Amino acid sequence: MLKEKEINIGDIHTATLVEDLKRTQIVQYAGASGDYNPLHTDEIFTTKIAGYPSVFAHGMLSMGLTGTMLTNYVGDGALKKYGVRFTNQVWPGDTLKSTTTITAIKDQDGERVIDLEIVTTNQNDVAVVTGNATAKIES
Amino acid sequence: MAIDKFLVEASHIMMFARSVGDANPIYHDEEYAEKSEMGGIIAPPTFAQSSAQFDPDYFLRPKVSGDGWFGSGKEATGSKPSSGSGGGGGGAAMGLHAEQHFEYHLPLKAGDVLSATSKPGKSWEKESKRAGTLKFSESVTEYRNQNGDLVITATGVGVQTERAVDS
């Protein structure tokens, strides 16, 4: 868990989430999450029937990858809230980077917490996920 | 969506963590996890989404004895999906998945047995240049553990677009 005396409003944490996203990782997520929508794993269906240039990642895979960055920063079991918007699709071959910024340090329900802003971008600097989180800290 | 029994198992957590690129031992190493402050293996923050595995009617999963699957086989598409629930997070039943929010009330631990109920939340409309009229609708899912305590509240927002989204 982050310690209050070691953090400041405006602190930024950045991580590379994935480089050259593989179709197999999307298959892994489909199997683990149980979302077998063929748009994510079935290139023939997705290109010939649905009319997309290729399969694309589950929005929840982007949120999950971003969550990895977040929990690596705030620590295990510290998150109180985590929410995102899916702003653009993620395609095989994409490289994703995520940045989170501390926007507030405050009391909430008798605990010390921080608010965080989150943005995950692809190799073209286009945001694919934007969001917010609240996490417990050590006072 | 209603789920009677969502068994939170360590091996499922391990597979889920791998799929989101998370090598944190708190998700797979029992010995490490027991010595940690958490006291055991916990689930990553978006793990509740895999409750789809425990929804008997989840329509984005081929059924063992179902009436076909709309993904490709010999032909590029199979039959239309049968009706069923779209899960808490959106999916094609709700159109595109626009937003997802989780509130964590208690740590989710390996060994927990969750049940879940969903109810519709707010709905609203918006005009967009990229896809015409957008119809948003929320679905709020409460996950409770074996003691009846609220563990996670998940809010999914789906959007039905007037036309395909321009990229």
Predicted confidence (pLDDT) per residue in A10-19, tens digit? 999 999 999 9
pLDDT in tens, A75-108: 999 999 999 999 999 999 999 999 999 999 999 9
Looking up residue A105, the CATH number of its domain turns out to be 3.10.129.10
Query: How many Å apart are CA B63 and CA B59, to the nearest integer?
Result: 8
Please give the average per-residue pLDDT across B156-162, as a whole number: 89
pLDDT in tens, B3-20: 999 999 999 999 999 999
Cβ-based contacts of B99 with chain A (< 8 Å): 83-86
Structural domain span for residue A73: 4-136
pLDDT in tens, A19-31: 999 999 999 999 9
pLDDT at B132: 86
Q: What is the CATH number of domain B2-161?
A: 3.10.129.10
Q: Which residues in chain A belong to E strands, given as ranges?
A: 12-18, 79-86, 96-108, 111-121, 127-136
For residue B164, name the pLDDT band (cuts at 50, 70, 90): low
Q: What is the ipTM of this complex?
A: 0.97
pTM to 2 decimal places: 0.93
The backbone region for A116, taken as left when phi is positive above 0, alpha when psi lies in -120 to 50, beta otherwise, is beta
- Count of domains forming chain A: 1
| Cβ of residue B14 closer than 8 Å to a chain A Cβ | no
Structure tokens at B94: 């709700």
CB contacts < 8 A (A, B) = 145
- A45 pLDDT higher than 80: yes
Query: How many Å apart are CA A121 and CA A129, to the nearest integer?
Result: 7
Supply the angle between the helices B10-19 and A23-33 in degrees, to the nearest 10. 150
| Cβ of residue B94 closer than 8 Å to a chain A Cβ | no
Q: Are the CB atoms for A82 and B102 separated by under 8 Å?
A: yes
Mutation target for A interface from B54, B60, B166: give the one with most A CBs within 10 A: B60
User: What are the two backbone dihedrals, phi and then psi, of residue B27, each rounded to the nearest 5 degrees?
Assistant: -100, -5
Supply the angle between the helices A23-33 and A59-74 in degrees, to the nearest 10. 80
Query: How many Å apart are CA A78 and CA A72, to the nearest integer?
Result: 10
Report CB contact under 8 Å: A77, B37.
yes
- B88 pLDDT higher than 60: no
pLDDT at B80: 59
Q: Is the four-CA dihedral B167, B48, B118, B7 of positive or negative sign?
A: positive
